[in-house]
Amino acid sequence: MNRFNTFEVEFDFSQWREVCMRNGVLRRYAKGEYFAHSGQLLKSVGWVVSGGFKHSLIDDHGCMKSVGFVFGDSILANYMSVMLGRAMPVDVIALDYSEVYEVPASLMRDHFVEDASLNATLLQALFDQAYINALDNYRFTPEMRYKRLLGRCPRIFDLLTVDDIASYLNISRRQLYRFRKSNS
């Protein structure tokens, strides 16, 4: 599944894909292996060739929450860490066996620093996604968010665990099971 994130539709990453494929080192990740740890600076970025990753954090109750996903044929990076030198706000963990062409994060930073217009376009796409996601959490009921996710990604249950999907939708497993049952 590609183009899971709306910023990937709004921003053309084809040039970045070529940079990673041409200059990157192919790295393989086992299911559950970390690409990045929360609290650390991201040292490499890459292009996901196969598999996928979840972005997760630990909430105030000590529970792991899945807050985002990246699948094959997509960029694997974090703007705040790469461009602003901030520690990663989330862990990035392989969902399954995954392959990534990795390059140093400095290569991406230099690329976007050199082209201010490109950087502004990416920032706008990232902001738009974040803002729409925040609004959708108020605008739509949990069941409507579930239906919209299924409409966008009909095979989501083939790719993610029930826990990851429920966490992403910010609902309980019980709610998710109820939605699945009533919509089947």
Instruction: Summarize pLDDT for 26-51 with one digit per residue, the tens.
Output: 999 999 999 999 999 999 999 999 99
Which residues neighbour 18 within 8 Å (Cβ) at sequence distance 6 or greater? Answer: none
Residue 47 parent element (H or E): strand 44-50
Tens of pLDDT, residue by residue over 90-104, are: 999 999 999 999 999
Res. 9 pLDDT band, cuts 50 70 90: confident
Query: pLDDT averaged over the chain?
Result: 90
**DSSP-derived pairing of the beta strands 44-50 and 74-76:** antiparallel
Res. 67 pLDDT band, cuts 50 70 90: very high
**Is the confidence at residue 125, as pLDDT, over 90?**
no
pTM: 0.90
Residue 30: CA count within 13 A, CB half-sphere: 0
**pLDDT number for residue 1:** 52
∠ CA 176-64-85 to the nearest 5 degrees?
A: 125
**pLDDT number for residue 2:** 53
Please give the average per-residue pLDDT across 120-132, as a whole number.
89
> For 6-134, CATH number?
2.60.120.10
Is there a contact between 119 and 112 (Cβ–Cβ < 8 Å)? yes
CA 125 remoteness from chain centre: 14
Domain chopping of the chain, boundaries: 6-134, 140-184
**pLDDT number for residue 7:** 74
Q: Is 73 exposed, middle or buried (0-12, 13-18, 19+ CB in 10 A)?
A: middle
Please report where in the chains the tokens 């490109």 appear, as a residue.
118
**Is the confidence at residue 5, as pLDDT, over 80?**
no
* Count of residues making up the chain: 184
| CA–CA dist 86, 23 (Å, integer) | 25
Which residues neighbour 12 within 8 Å (Cβ) at sequence distance 6 or greater? Answer: none
